[in-house]
Chain A
Amino acid sequence: MEDLSNLYQEVILEAAKDAHGRKEDLEGGALAPSSHCAYASGFNPSCGDEVEIKVETDGEAIKEVSWKGEGCAICTASLSIMTDLVEGKSRQEALSLYKDFLGLMNGRGAAEAPERLKDAAAFKGVAKFPMRIKCALLGWTTLKEALGGEGK
């Protein structure tokens, strides 16, 4: 059970239950990418989990992140904590947080989380469960794609 609480930190279980940014419906969504609205969808073929992310921007600043999808506790909590982290940041800052988070996941549990990852540091334990890393990353990689594809 020690392993388990290492994976499912309290902050993760809480975020999974009360997921920030989750919407029943993404108004506009894929139909309305524009200079101030980016969109991407992500898919995890091993479990069939899907997520859609909509990012509303004001110039370089990320105003609001909303997402729709069903995932496991790790996936849902990661999306929620990511939403809190990147809202109000610039696009470059968000992409740099993505790189920090990716580094944490690829660290096999040995990497220390940079302070600016805040609650996302709780996913350090996930890195010791290789089968679950893609759950934690699904939201982040989809966000990265949305930000990269903005305005297209």
Chain B
Amino acid sequence: MSIRSLFPFFLANPDLAYLDSAATSQKLGAVIEKERIFSSAFNAPIRRSTYSLAFEATEEFENVRGKIAALLGAKAEEIVFSSSATGAFNLLANSLGYVEDPQSPLFIGEGDEILLSRSEHNSVLLPFQELARRRRADLKFLPMTEEGEVCGWEEAIGEKTKIVAVSRLSNVTGAFAPVGKIAKAAHGAGALVVSDLCQAAAHERTDVKALGIDFAAFSAHKVFGPTGLGFLYGAKPLLDLLPPSLFGGGMVESAWEGKRAVYKKAPWKFEAGTQPVSQAIALGPAIDFLKNREHDEGLFTRRLLEAASIPGVKILGPLSPENRAPILSFVVEGVHPHDVAQFMDANGIAVRSGHQCAQILHRAFGYPSSARASLSIYSEMWEVDRFLDLLSGVRPYFLKGE
């Protein structure tokens, strides 16, 4: 049985070359089925009631926490459920903004530095930009090579650096960042390491402990799961120190009239309000699938990179297939990315166009936007063949007579 047949989307769209998995992946049939079964037969509130159905729902929910932890090489108590990766990064940055004790390793104060790579997605950039603004800290950026790879961290990280955020895999350049090396330098300077794993989670088994990541996040919908669900990973001692920033039901031990409430321990103190329960439970089969996959994407990456030899096509990212995932952002000289995507759409190919929530990186490359073809585990070579074939036709179509 082919991997593709596990994804009902492709039964419904057999002729479409879906090359936008970096934006959202298609969902496993087992995920869709699990959510349907839970919602239709086992739906109950978690962590609140004592009847058996509620207990079973709670157990299933917590099991998924354990599965995610195992996938990342972490402990279950180090995983916080959130609404999305964006939700997780906002939770982290907001909670850091609630730290009051200047002696805390999590305290960000005036003159401290938050250092980001230029490839950070807006969902990382903006929460930390706001944190820096509120705390009068300085937001700084790591240099990058011409091909958009992060560099120069040894020089950039200093004693004022409190946070270094580098996404493990860029949604634009498709390049894996040497997060392990950067973490070593950051820890040497007493800084915390934050890494966006949204893209990496779909293309590698990221081991947060081996890489030395202190905080990370990713979302379910990019790894064959439901939308509305994301995760924050935090190393246990840090998560214990981090105050909650979202308050309400489910995160409190006891609430009083005349004194401050006592909150639960991490990770539950961060999970106020009803969680995306059916989505979380439905993600279980996707995590099992991710753990057991054996998929070498090298062939796809190499073939995709052949786009670089098409006249007028410029790749935003490294040209070498090493340390790279099959995510290819490009511009066609003289043709706007929206026109490229429209041309592809008319010929049965779904590609992304725009700034891909990475305006800083696009400005650094000198283009306001780009088009992007991104593959995933279910991608097939005919899709890349069709893409390359169409890409050669873009300039002749739009610039004929020139």
Contact = CB atoms under 8 A, between A and B. Distances in A.
B401 to A, nearest CB: 8
A8 B346 CA distance: 11
Interface stretch (A44-52, A85-93, A107-115, A143-151): A44-52
Interface string A23-66: 00000000000000000000000111110000000000000000
B336 A71 contact: yes
B59 interface: no
Nearest to A2: B346
A135 interface: yes
A3 B353 contact: no
A73 B362 contact: no
A49 B353 CA distance: 12
Interface size class of B (residues with CB under 8 A): 20 to 34
B398 A48 contact: no
Contacts of B82: none
A73 B368 contact: no
B272 interface: no
Given A47-B355, A48-B362, A72-B336, A129 B342 contact: yes
A4 to B, nearest CB: 4
Given A73-B398, A132-B338, A48 B354 contact: yes
Given A8-B339, A46-B354, A132-B342, 6 more contacts: A13-B400, A72-B338, A73-B339, A74-B338, A74-B339, A132-B338
Interface of B: 335-339, 342-343, 346-347, 353-355, 359, 362, 368-369, 397-402
Please list the 6 inter-chain residue pairs (A to B) with the smallest Cβ-Cβ separation, ordered nearest first.
A72-B336, A4-B346, A48-B368, A72-B338, A73-B339, A72-B339
21 contacts: A1-B347, A3-B346, A4-B346, A7-B342, A8-B342, A8-B397, A16-B398, A17-B399, A17-B401, A47-B355, A48-B355, A48-B359, A49-B368, A70-B336, A72-B337, A72-B339, A73-B335, A73-B398, A74-B339, A76-B336, A135-B338
